[in-house]
Structure 1
Amino acid sequence: MGFAIRVYKFREGEVVPVDASVVREVLEPYAPYDVPDGQSVEWVRAADGSEADVHLDHGVAFDRPGPGVLDPIAEVARRTRAAVLLFGDPAAAIVTCEEDRAHLPEDLREVAVVAPSSVLTGATIQQVIRPRPEPRPRPALPPFPYHPDPVATGSVTAAAETCVCCGYDQGWICTGPVYGADVPDGRVCPYCVAFGTAAERYGAFFNEVEARRMPDDVARRIRERTPNFATWQDWDWPAHCGDGGVFLGAVGAEELRSHPQALDHLRRQCAEWGWGPETTEGFVGALDKDGGQTAYLFRCRLCDTHFAHADFT
């Protein structure tokens, strides 16, 4: 930071001296040298290695303070009940109460921020120096009955990206691939998935479905209007009770402990592969939601049974 931060105390618009002994008490632990008796601290270094030159007169000036120095600056302001001043374009001031704002010079009163002592920290000063932008408001996602929380599963993410289908930046984008011979390069927004626009315009689809295991309208909704999710192998969207399963996310052995029905389903799947009990238990115990062998958790919309599908590299 190539600027100075000043800690000054005011009464009726005029500067009054801060308590030099309090300033020394706060700053001496940060001085990378032995401060002689009777002298003020002239240089501080924070735990993160950032530094500042310090000048004490009626107030305290910190030249070129690094990020870690902001906490001791805030402590000096709290302990002396002084204002933190940042001169520049724009100027800024931080005081700990409305009463102290009234004592500031008139031009500073208008820009002063009140931060009570209990919340005045280095992070508070940083926020005033470099305010974080307000989060971009994003529209609500359309409903996906068979993939109800695609943000949590990583299939949809917040992004400032133009959808290749509608041509708009909707604030959200689907992260998975889009299948279809006529699909242009790029990613689509979840609205073009949910409303069937990508399917109608480009013949796009997102999931493989074994249609005979569920009604045609359900199969079409999962295939053409439901975001897909990352898998190691290609496999059909599973069904239960004649309906498509509701995808809840990737899971490992730890997460499956709370879903015994899904564990039993996985064991039956392993048995269908011809695996014995020892191999099956070793495989199930090594499942990792972020690893090379994982499982995908589903729930039946009709009977509420949880079941899982195993996948591996």
Structure 2
Amino acid sequence: MELPKFKYHSDPLKSGSIIESDKVCVCCGESRGYIYGGLPYSEEELEDSICPWCIANGEAHKKFDADFTDYDGIGGYGDWDDIAPEIKEEITFRTPGFTGWQQDQWWTHCNDGANYLGCAGFKEIEEYGLELEMYLKQESTKTYNLKDGQWESFFKALDADGSPTAYIFKCIHCGKHGGYIDFD
């Protein structure tokens, strides 16, 4: 069975947000082979219990008032490009989110939400290239008040499966990579 398409999270299997599972979805009552692996924002306990189809069609949001990303975190709480409310709603209500160390954020660029690619460490960021490394350096230096010489050790400590980690996105218009770094 093919997963629904998500404009702002094109490969939720690769990122780990959607996992293979034979669990029955609490929203539609079906077992379709996949389930959302995160914990939605909701008054209900919904961890590992909603299928991607109920996220994509908005039924999980309608039925449980479930959000999959913090609405205010889209655009980095005002630090990145501002986007239209309907785009924020698509990301919040109908796109699988991801689990971060602190409060999740969703990178925006070209006045739109970006495509979430996944977590990255030092090695993965080097594979993306120098432009992403320089962007993360600029953001991290500002956010964490890094002094001269601290970036290199901070950067080399990045771990896709640990802390600190980088959350990587790609602009759906111009192709630029961006994101942010967070730790426990």
Shift, 1:190, TM fit: 0.4
Whether contact under 8 Å (2:107, 2:178) holds in the other structure is no
Q: Tell me which residue corresponds to 1:160.
A: 22
* 2:71 aligned with 1:202: no
1:135 maps to which residue? none
Q: Are 1:253 and 2:110 counterparts?
A: no
Q: Is the 8 A contact 1:147 1:248 kept in 2?
A: yes
Partners of 1:166 and 1:185 lie apart in 2 by: 13
- The 1-side partners of 2:46 and 2:103 are apart by 21
Q: CA deviation at 1:184?
A: 4.7
Inter-CA distance 289–184: structure 2 relative to 1 (3 Å threshold): closer
| SS state at 1:151 partner | helix
Which of 129, 135, 148 is the aligned partner of 1:277? Answer: 148
Which is strand-richer, 1 or 2?
1
TM-score (structure 1 length as normaliser): 0.53
Offset at residue 158 of structure 1 (A): 1.2
Post-superposition offset of 1:188: 0.3
Counterpart of 1:178 (choices 30, 33, 40) is 40
In the alignment, what sits opposite 1:232?
101
Higher relative contact order (CA 8 A, sep 6+): 2
Q: Render the CA deviation track for 1:252-309: whole Å, top value 9, x for unaligned.
A: 1111113222111111112213211311221111111111211111101111101131
- Once the two structures are superposed, residues 121-171 of structure 1 have per-residue CA deviations (whole angstroms, 9 ceiling, x without a partner) of xxxxxxxxxxxxxxxxxx100001111001111111111101111111111
- Over alpha carbons, which structure has the higher Rg? 1
8 Å Cα contact 1:192/1:198 also seen in 2: yes
SS of residue in 2 equivalent to 1:265: helix
CA distance in 1, matches of 2:167, 2:24: 30
> Are positions 1:266 and 2:133 aligned together?
no
* Alpha-carbon spacing, 1:306–1:260, altered in 2? closer, same or farther (3 Å): same
Q: What is residue 169 of structure 2 aligned with on the other side?
A: 298
Residues in 1 aligned to 2:148 and 2:4: alpha-carbon distance in whole angstroms = 43
Report the RMSD for the aligned CA atoms in angstroms.
Answer: 1.5
What is the alpha-carbon distance in structure 1 between the residues aligned to residue 46 and residue 180 of structure 2? 30
Aligned residues: 174
Shift of 1:245: 1.3
Unaligned segments of structure 2, at least 5 residues: none
Residues of 2 paired with 1:201 and 1:157: CA distance? 22
In the alignment, the residues of structure 1 paired with residue 69 and residue 151 of structure 2 have an alpha-carbon distance, to the nearest angstrom, of 28
Counterpart residue identity of residue 296, structure 1: Y
Note if contact 2:121-2:165 (Cα within 8 Å) is conserved in structure 1.
Answer: yes
State how 1:59-74 maps to structure 2 within 5 Å. none
Instruction: Give the 3 Å change call, closer, same or farther, for CA 280–241 of structure 1 in structure 2.
Output: same
